Amino acid sequence: MVKKFTLGSKERLKSRKLIDQVFAEGKNFNAFPFRVYYLFSSGKWPIGGSGLLQCGVGVSTRNFKHSVDRNRIKRLTREAYRQQKNELQELIFGKDCSMAIFLIYTGRELPDYGAVTEKIGLILNRLIKAAHEIPSSAS
């Protein structure tokens, strides 16, 4: 698979139904300042098919009153994810399953790009370990 550093519309977690499913049925962990929810699936999701990795990002209005601050954090997070997701994407594609990830920024201070990149790298490594544990046919 060719390495593509993109984050197109098919790779974004936008379906309300799927987001609710990730929060209700998925697993989660903390990697301060992020809380990560993820869900593996072997079946076809409403959008896309198997081998698909989707990611969504959220920031609390309670901690950041100004939308420019929330949008900046989301931009930084998506950019860090976009540049580091390839290893996880290849693993998901190889296992012929799908994965949805939702990242929530829980910190109270505006982060810099270096800190976000480091934390996203740790999160993706932990998700890769979790993906190795699932069987090829997934849940």
Range of 89's domain? 27-46+85-139
Residue 119 lies in a domain: yes
Residue 72 lies in a domain: no
Beta strands in the chain (DSSP E): 27-31, 34-41, 53-59, 98-105
Sequence-separated (6 or more) residues with CB below 8 Å from residue 66:
none
Residue 102 lies in a domain: yes
Please state whether 16 falls in left (phi above 0), alpha (psi between -120 and 50) or beta. Answer: alpha
**pLDDT for res 51:** 59
Considering the chain, what percentage of its residues have pLDDT values greater than 90?
A: 73
- Residue 136 pLDDT exceeds 70: no
Q: Give the model confidence (pLDDT) of 6-59 as tens digits.
A: 888 889 999 999 999 999 999 999 999 999 999 998 765 554 555 589 999 999
